[in-house]
Amino acid sequence: MTLEQQIERFAKTTPDKAAVITGNETLSYSSLWGRVQEEALRLGLKEGQPHVFVATQDTDFIVTYLAVHVCGAVAVPLEASTPKERQQQIRDEVNLQSSIFNVSDILYTTGTTGKAKGVMISSRAWTANAENLIDRLGFTSDLLFIICGPLNHLGSLSKIYPTLMTGATLYILESLKDMNAFFSVFELPFQKFATFLVPSSIRMLLQVASKDLAAVASKIDFIETGAAAISQSDMESLCRILPSSRLFNTYASTETGIVCSYEYSKYGCEPGLLGKPMKHSSVRIDEDGRVICSGLTIMSGYVGAPELTADVLRDGEVFTSDIGILDGQGMLHLKGRQDDVINVGGYKVNPAEVEDAVNGFEPIADCICIPARHILLGTVPKLLYVPKQGHEVRPKDIAGFLRGHLENYKIPLLYEAVDAIRHTYNGKLDRKSYQKY
Amino acid sequence: MKEHIIELLSGALPMVNLESDFLFSELDSLGVTTILMLLSEEYGIQLEARDATPKNLKTIDSIVKMVEEKLAKE
């Protein structure tokens, strides 16, 4: 049964139960379903027609997202900070495909290969993702699940499914920025709370809100993390503060879907350990140590990019750029990545895309974008740049320029003016020489 | 103090316009946490999530006021 069919069912069986709550609005299952039907009529989309819209963190997003599916059309939610020019490029790209069948969503991501592209996800894959999560994490109808990450991203978007498919309640926050708003959710009359937090959000809460977290410990059923590596010390700290909560570390990507999850609060904290594949998923490792995933959750391909699809999706298997091992118990341990992509709190940043944008800034002569350590985010992009002679360039100037050209998460947080950038003999950026920068 | 805080924060948050009258809306969760951590360390005070209200982080002047009040209490 699809998500929309389940919501229609709950609209009849538990019509008054809260389905989606935001800071200023509560939609019951019956009112949610009513609004979805109205919006589907208003949109009037054809089957397989792509519908591009910005992912806002509110009930309007949920209504539009579901309404697109009710029409049989394809939802293409975009990151809110996507520059207008880029939004238009994406509209043009998906509109080239007059209709896309057996696809429910297209999620734009840097993802496995490092270039921004649209990952096509079928309704069947979403249902399998939801069943993986319901089975491993234990979603139940009495749960209030808090979403505080962007809804165009797999990490948060995927939680709509198990929450609403089990008749539970979703609480949507704009972000974790207003931590007081996050903690005030726990005052609502629910027995069990759960959330998904990327490792950097966990680090932030541990740094400035550990007392507040401890105060709501007894109410937290589970916290899932994923999308980036979480440190052993943060896992251990969270286990101490939340002794009765179930804490999971999940392996997922837009291309593979949600594949493995490991309950480190029960079985022990070990960095990179992501557990066994879930019920609809399989994992194998090739001779180069590359993680290869298959099963019902995997993508249908990249929109308008058959060659790229053939490179990553072969015979029903997604070849990721992650390097890992499977232990004797069949549990996945991640060891790193094969490519230059920088993972910033779960967002993948292709350094070449950043450099291309910076090279469009007139006062810059040369630059390279490299990964660097950051106390909260783990790894962030750092820009080393050479100003043109006679120009004084401040980091603020570069960041301001990039704002109109890149999504916010791709803009470097750290900057350093240098005399020269190292290149290889054939003129390419010498990335290897900056690995230990 | 105001100039020192601007200098301190502008290095860590190059994307943020610290002179904005709507500073809180310019910040993301990383920005909020960075401000709390940097100012706690610099001034030997304990700023926590509950201090990060939209009112306290509305402008650079309200941030200065928050730090001054913490210093007076501790």
Going through A29-73 in order, the beta strands assigned E by DSSP cover 50-54
Tokens (6 digits) for A85: 């020019």
With 80 as the cut, is the pLDDT of residue A426 above it?
no
Give the range among A113-117, A138-142, A187-191, A292-296 with minimum mean pLDDT: A113-117
Span A350-354, mean pLDDT? 89
pLDDT of residue B66: 95
* Closest chain A residue to B54, measured at CA: A178
* Closest chain B residue to A401, measured at CA: B15
Reported CATH class of domain A350-434: alpha beta
Q: Which of A208, A377, A403 sits opposite B49 (nearest CB)?
A: A208
Which residues are within 8 A (CB) of A238 and not within 5 positions of it... i.e. 6 or more apart?
Answer: A202, A206, A223, A247, A265
Interface of A with B in 142-201 (CB under 8 A): 175-180, 183, 200-201
With 80 as the cut, is the pLDDT of residue A113 above it?
no
Interface residue ranges in chain B relative to chain A, Cβ cutoff 8 Å: 10-11, 14-15, 24, 27-34, 36-37, 47-50, 52-54
Q: How far is A182 from chain B (nearest CA, A)?
A: 10
pLDDT of residue A103: 96
Domain A3-337 has CATH 3.60.70.12: no
Tokens (6 digits) for A432: 């290897």
pLDDT of residue B8: 87
Spatial distance between the Cα atoms of A300 and A316, rounded to a whole number of angstroms: 9
Residue A115: pLDDT band by 50, 70, 90 thresholds?
low
Would you kindly state where each structural domain of chain B is located, as residue ranges?
2-73
Give the residue among B61, B43, B51 at the shortest CA–CA distance from B3: B61
DSSP string covering A162-187 = HHHHTT-EEEE-S-SSSHHHHHHGGG
Tokens (6 digits) for B70: 């913490």
Would you kindly state where each structural domain of chain A is located, as residue ranges?
3-337, 350-434
Residue A259: pLDDT band by 50, 70, 90 thresholds?
very high
Comparison of pLDDT for A184 and A338, the residue scoring more: A184
Q: How far is B71 from chain A (nearest CA, A)?
A: 18
With 70 as the cut, is the pLDDT of residue A421 above it?
yes
pLDDT of residue A309: 94
Whether the CB-CB separation of A162 and A189 falls below 8 Å is answered with no
ipTM of the complex: 0.82
SS3 A61: helix
With 70 as the cut, is the pLDDT of residue A436 above it?
no
Residue A329: pLDDT band by 50, 70, 90 thresholds?
very high
pLDDT of residue A419: 93
Q: Which of A207, A395, A398 sits opposite B33 (nearest CB)?
A: A207
With 70 as the cut, is the pLDDT of residue A367 above it?
yes
Give the range among A34-43, A254-263, A352-361, B5-14 with minimum mean pLDDT: B5-14
Judging contacts by C-beta atoms under 8 Å, the chain B residues touching residue A205 are 49
Residue A437: pLDDT band by 50, 70, 90 thresholds?
low
Spatial distance between the Cα atoms of B53 and B66, rounded to a whole number of angstroms: 10
Spatial distance between the Cα atoms of A277 and A6, rounded to a whole number of angstroms: 26
Comparison of pLDDT for A428 and A240, the residue scoring more: A240
Question: CATH assignment of B2-73?
Answer: 1.10.1200.10
**Segment B8-61, tens digit of pLDDT:** 888 888 888 888 898 898 888 888 998 999 999 899 999 999 999 999 999 999
Spatial distance between the Cα atoms of A246 and A265, rounded to a whole number of angstroms: 6
Residue A101: pLDDT band by 50, 70, 90 thresholds?
confident
As a residue count, chain A comes to: 437
Asked whether this chain's domains A3-337 and A350-434 adopt the same fold, the reply is no
Spatial distance between the Cα atoms of B59 and A286, rounded to a whole number of angstroms: 54
Spatial distance between the Cα atoms of A354 and A137, rounded to a whole number of angstroms: 37
Which residues are within 8 A (CB) of B7 and not within 5 positions of it... i.e. 6 or more apart?
Answer: none
Tokens (6 digits) for A272: 């990179």
With 80 as the cut, is the pLDDT of residue A345 above it?
no
Span A36-42, mean pLDDT? 98
Q: Which residues are registered as beta bridge partners of A177?
A: none
B45 φ/ψ angles, rounded to the nearest 5 degrees:
-120, 170
**Segment A268-289, tens digit of pLDDT:** 999 899 999 999 999 999 998 9
Whether the CB-CB separation of A316 and A280 falls below 8 Å is answered with no
The proportion of chain A whose per-residue pLDDT surpasses 90, expressed as a percent, equals 74
SS3 A386: strand
